[in-house]
Structure 1
Amino acid sequence: MNYLLPYFGEINPAQLEEYYQTTAVVKDLTVNLDLNFEHKTISPEVLRAIEEFLNHLTRWDGHNHAALEQDFAADGETADHITFYFDELDEAELSALLPAETSPDARAFRLLKELKLIRVGFYPDGKYDEEQFATFDYALYLAGEPSNQLLAVKTDEQGKVHHITWES
């Protein structure tokens, strides 16, 4: 019996393909979505967990932004990522992203707020030896395109953040 997943359509849990890809609109942005399976079968309970994530992408995005802010305040990967842009972008590029921000702390926090969700990948059965259930990739948009420097928020099936990594 097939299972209907939001955005993806029908999926047969007894005959999975290795990879599924689609897009969704979250907060007026197009977000890439992908499912990655190691095995050819999966339980309906796992598909329901994926469905729960897909039905509430905006909520998970807000939850992850709070985690990024906490990581930033704790001088984690997020702080390093934001500092990178202050080192790499010239003042004109920064001013385009940060209009009317003057203090360094206000500029850094504003840049953090500019991170946008660009992708959600699901790894419900450990494909690619991934330990997390879902990965949410965030990037800054520079000149209308997402940067190739990403902050990846990795969560379990309940949405609890395992860790945040900087990837490119």
Structure 2
Amino acid sequence: MKKNITYFGEVEINSPQEYNEGQIVIDNRQIKLDLNFYDGVPEYDWVAEYENYIKDLEQHKADVEAAIRADYEDGGDVKEYVDFHLEELDASIIDKVLVGTDASKSKEERLLTALKLKRIGFYPGNENYAVWDYTIGREITDLLVVVNTDSTGKINYVTWEN
């Protein structure tokens, strides 16, 4: 049976493809979405779970970004991500990344604000239901700040990875 899934279009809900692509515009930026069933299709109504999550996407995004800031301020993985890039990247590249950020703030703070949402991956049936990927620019670094939430939007953890 096919259903129209928000941002993904028609999807065979009982046997969807392992990987489904979608997109959304948030803050005038194109964000990649993917819906993943590598571990099989959950036995419960995953469509309702997804639609329930997506209807609160702006709130989830605000919560994710608050978690990124809190992790940074606590000296966690986000602070490591920022410090790593400030140490490893040429000053000229850092300057390009910082264009448009508040010049009255520290480079660390400015790099933190340069993090932009690139992708949200959904994994129905998994504890880490939604995976939010942030980057200072994929053309600059392969490393991402990653935030995982459960299906209600509760933050599971914040980390960085490639």
Task: Give your verdict on TM over 0.5.
Answer: yes
Q: Does the CA-based 8 Å contact 2:41-2:124 persist in structure 1?
A: no
Q: 1:94 & 1:40 partners in 2: Cα distance?
A: 43
Q: What does residue range 17-166 of structure 1 map to in structure 2 within 5 Å?
A: 17-37=17-37, 38-40=39-41, 42-44=43-45, 46-98=46-98, 101=103, 106-126=106-126, 131-141=127-137, 145=139, 147-166=141-160
Q: 1:53 & 1:147 partners in 2: Cα distance?
A: 29
Q: Which amino acid aligns with 1:75?
A: G
- 1:58 CA displacement: 3.1
What percent identity do the matched residue pairs reach?
A: 31
- 1:164 CA displacement: 1.1
Tell me the number of residue pairs that the alignment of Structure 1 and Structure 2 aligns.
159
- 1:110 CA displacement: 1.6
Unmatched tracts of structure 1, length 5 or more: none
Q: TM-score, normalised by structure 2?
A: 0.86
Secondary structure of the corresponding residue to residue 121 of structure 1: strand
Q: Does the CA-based 8 Å contact 2:2-2:13 persist in structure 1?
A: yes
Q: 2:97 & 2:41 partners in 1: Cα distance?
A: 45
Q: Does the CA-based 8 Å contact 1:118-1:139 persist in structure 2?
A: yes
Q: 2:47 & 2:59 partners in 1: Cα distance?
A: 19
| CA RMSD, Structure 1 to Structure 2 (Å) | 2.1
Q: Does the CA-based 8 Å contact 2:97-2:136 persist in structure 1?
A: no
